[in-house]
Amino acid sequence: MFAMFKKTTKTDKSVAISSRIEWIATHVNTKEKLIVFMDAIMNRDSKHLVMGRSPISLIAPVFGTENRKDLYCIRNLFNETKITVESYGVRMWFKNNYTTRYILNVLTKLFKVSSVRLTNDPNYPYNVVIKIGKPSGEVVFDTSLDDKIEFIMKDIELCKSKVRWHDEQIKKFNSEIQVINEKMRTESNSKYHWSDKIRDLEKQIRELKG
């Protein structure tokens, strides 16, 4: 099996890629296997193999490369994502539009993938659900995503301006506090000076009275 696999890789890339897709579909056929498969792609320390091959080496040709340098870049992109386990599959979270499209262009050839949805997490603004099933074949974004993102970005900018304003107010009050503290020290010193003067004068009266 391995010899035939290597031969198709050298002679016909399209056959090699379709063989990889079929290989993955055949052996990653339950939610539990999908979870381990996805974790092994993202975790460079994983020892998991699919019929003798590492998941990252299996999936790389579907990205169009087997070059080790490109393999490193692909893994780094996966490292910018995170996964959580759902009752119906694996939810995958993405940091930006580019990573989302790049990775899902491949995953949709392998698995059933939901449309891309906007999240409430500013660090991972996009997510999808990946399940075992007929491959989706294409990346589908929620058509209202751009409008939602623009709306949220405006809110973020407004919040940032509020933070800057309050920061300036805090700096202003800190300066005023320093001035007030200095005045309080001056007044305290004056108070102690005149209190000492009073005690000296009262002492003189007691001495005069004998």
| Segment 3-35, tens digit of pLDDT | 333 444 454 566 677 878 888 888 888 899 999
Residue 175 CA, distance from chain mean position: 37
Same domain, residue pair 110 and 151: no
Cα–Cα dist 67/60, whole Å: 9
54's CB contacts (< 8 A; 6+ apart) are 40, 46, 48
Q: What's the mean pLDDT in 40-55?
A: 76
Same domain, residue pair 112 and 207: no
145 pLDDT exceeds 80? no
Residue after which a domain boundary falls, among 142, 170, 185: 142
In one-letter notation, the amino acid at residue 29 is: N
Same domain, residue pair 126 and 154: no
Number of domains in the chain: 2
Same domain, residue pair 88 and 186: no
206 pLDDT exceeds 50? yes
Q: At what angle do helices 97-110 and 13-27 cross, to 10 degrees?
A: 80
Cα dihedral: 35, 40, 42, 44 (round 10): 160
Same domain, residue pair 127 and 164: no
Q: What is the pTM of this model?
A: 0.59
User: Residue 131 CB: number of other CB atoms within 10 A?
Assistant: 17
Same domain, residue pair 87 and 122: yes
- What pLDDT digit, counting tens, does each position of 90-103 carry? 999 999 888 899 99
Q: Which domain holds residue 149?
A: 143-210
Residue 138 is given by DSSP the state S
Q: Which two tokens stand for residue 167?
A: 């920061």
Q: Which two tokens stand for residue 131?
A: 């399940």
User: Residue 133 CB: number of other CB atoms within 10 A?
Assistant: 10
Provide the 3-class DSSP secondary structure of residue 175: helix
- What pLDDT digit, counting tens, does each position of 68-92 carry? 566 778 888 888 899 999 988 999 9
Residue after which a domain boundary falls, among 142, 165, 191: 142
Residue 65's pLDDT band, with cuts at 50, 70 and 90, is low
Residue after which a domain boundary falls, among 98, 115, 142: 142
32's CB contacts (< 8 A; 6+ apart) are none
Same domain, residue pair 115 and 60: yes
> Helices (H) and strands (E) in the chain — how many of each?
7, 5
Same domain, residue pair 163 and 134: no
Q: What percent of the chain has pLDDT over 70?
A: 87
55: nearest Cα among 35, 80, 77 = 35
Same domain, residue pair 52 and 154: no
N-terminal to C-terminal alpha carbon distance within the chain: 120
Same domain, residue pair 125 and 203: no
Same domain, residue pair 24 and 126: yes
Same domain, residue pair 35 and 108: yes
CB 100 within 8 Å of CB 94: yes
